[in-house]
């Protein structure tokens, strides 16, 4: 919501992005990606006009693999359809944030199959480049014990700013990210 609010505030101050941005809050991911599937079948704007999908799902926690390096974020799918999208993402990060991008799960053959398990996939299968931002799993994953007091708010803020800056960059580019050949 803060990313949407930041775009709205920028527009109010005369800094409207070149492209239209759609913020989707879909449901039914765990049951079969129902919300994003419905949108992909019934888009507000033709999918041919959609340049990318930035999917944010679980970015406020720290996983066990990064207990000594909390300044990280998993990116999944960032170059599977567009190497240029990954380059743009890394340039934004290197210029402003220096978060350690972890591409451990950025492989269609990853045994966790995260690329296929979140809402970005309904865009990717329609040849729309995607980035899935993810902090990894933790002991409270999909449990009632996953409570707000366990969120790492400074890291969540930094990650959110990174995603805003990436979306801002993409929304103001002349061309959409080129698809891989």
The domain containing residue 130 runs over which residues?
2-138+146-171
Domain assignment present for residue 176? The answer is no
Residue 78 has pLDDT above 90, yes or no: yes
Report whether pLDDT(73) > 90.
Answer: yes
State how far the Cα of 140 lies from the Cα of 83, in Å rounded to an integer: 33
CB-count burial class (<10 Å; 0-12, 13-18, 19+) for 40: buried
Q: What is the pLDDT of residue 44?
A: 94
Q: Tell me if 68 is assigned to some domain.
A: yes
Q: Bigger pLDDT: 28 or 138?
A: 138
Long-range contacts (CB closer than 8 Å, 24 or more residues apart) made by 106-115: 106/74, 106/75, 106/76, 106/77, 106/78, 106/79, 106/80, 108/80, 114/76, 115/76, 115/77, 115/80
Residue 142's pLDDT band, with cuts at 50, 70 and 90, is confident
pTM: 0.95
Look up the CATH number of the domain holding residue 156.
Answer: 3.40.630.10
Q: Which residues make Cβ contacts (< 8 Å) with residue 154, sequence separation at least 6? A: none
Residue 144: predicted pLDDT: 94
163/157 Cα distance (integer angstroms): 10
In a domain, 53, yes or no: yes
* pLDDT reported for residue 118: 94
Classify residue 65: in a domain, yes or no: yes
Lowest mean pLDDT among 8-17, 26-35, 87-96: 26-35
Alpha-carbon Rg for the chain, nearest whole angstrom, is: 16
Sheet holding 100-102, edge to edge: 53-56, 130-134, 72-76, 100-102
Phi-psi region of 38 (alpha: psi -120 to 50; beta: other; left: phi over 0): alpha
Give the chain's domain count: 1
The verdict on residue 114 lying in a domain is yes
179 lies in a domain?
no
Q: Is the pLDDT of residue 126 over 90?
A: yes
**Residue 181 located in a structural domain:** no
In a domain, 178, yes or no: no
Q: Is pLDDT at 10 greater than 90 in this prediction?
A: yes
């Amino acid at each position: 919501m803060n990313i949407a609010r930041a775009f709205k505030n920028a527009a109010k101050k005369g800094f409207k992005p070149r492209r239209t941005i759609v913020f989707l809050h879909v449901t039914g991911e765990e049951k079969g990606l129902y919300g994003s599937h419905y949108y992909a079948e019934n888009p507000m704007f033709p999918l041919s006009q959609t340049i990318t999908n930035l999917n944010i799902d679980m970015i406020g926690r720290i996983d066990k693999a990064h207990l000594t390096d909390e300044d990280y974020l998993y990116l999944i799918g960032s170059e599977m359809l567009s190497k240029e999208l990954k380059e743009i993402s890394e340039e934004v990060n290197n210029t402003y944030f220096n978060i350690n991008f972890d591409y451990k799960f950025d492989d269609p053959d990853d045994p966790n199959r995260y690329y296929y398990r979140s809402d970005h996939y309904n865009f990717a299968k329609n040849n729309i480049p995607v980035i899935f931002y993810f902090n990894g799993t933790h002991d409270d994953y999909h449990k009632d014990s996953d409570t707000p007091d366990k969120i790492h708010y400074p890291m969540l803020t930094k990650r959110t700013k990174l995603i805003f800056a990436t979306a801002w960059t993409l929304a103001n580019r002349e061309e959409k990210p080129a698809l891989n050949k």
